[in-house]
Chains A and B, each alone.
Chain A
Amino acid sequence: MSELVDKLRAEFQDKEYRDAYADECLDTMIATQIKVLREQRGMTQGQLAVATGMKQPRIPVLEDATYSNWSINTLKRFAKAFDVALSVKFETFSKLIEDFENLSRESLQRPAFENDTHFQTQRTTSRRFHRPKYLPSRRRSRNWAMSRIRQTQVSNMGSRRKPPKSAGGMQGALSSQAANELGIQLVAAAGGN
Chain B
Amino acid sequence: MDTAQIMGLVTGILFGFLLQKGRVLRFEKQVGAMLLKDMTILKFMLSAIMVGMVGVALLADAGVIALGHKPMNVGAIVVGGALFGAGWAVMGFCPGTSVGALGEGRWHAAFGVAGMLAGAALYAELYPLMKATVLSWADFGKIGLPETLGVSPWVVIIVFIAVALGLFRWFESRGL
Binding partners A and B = no
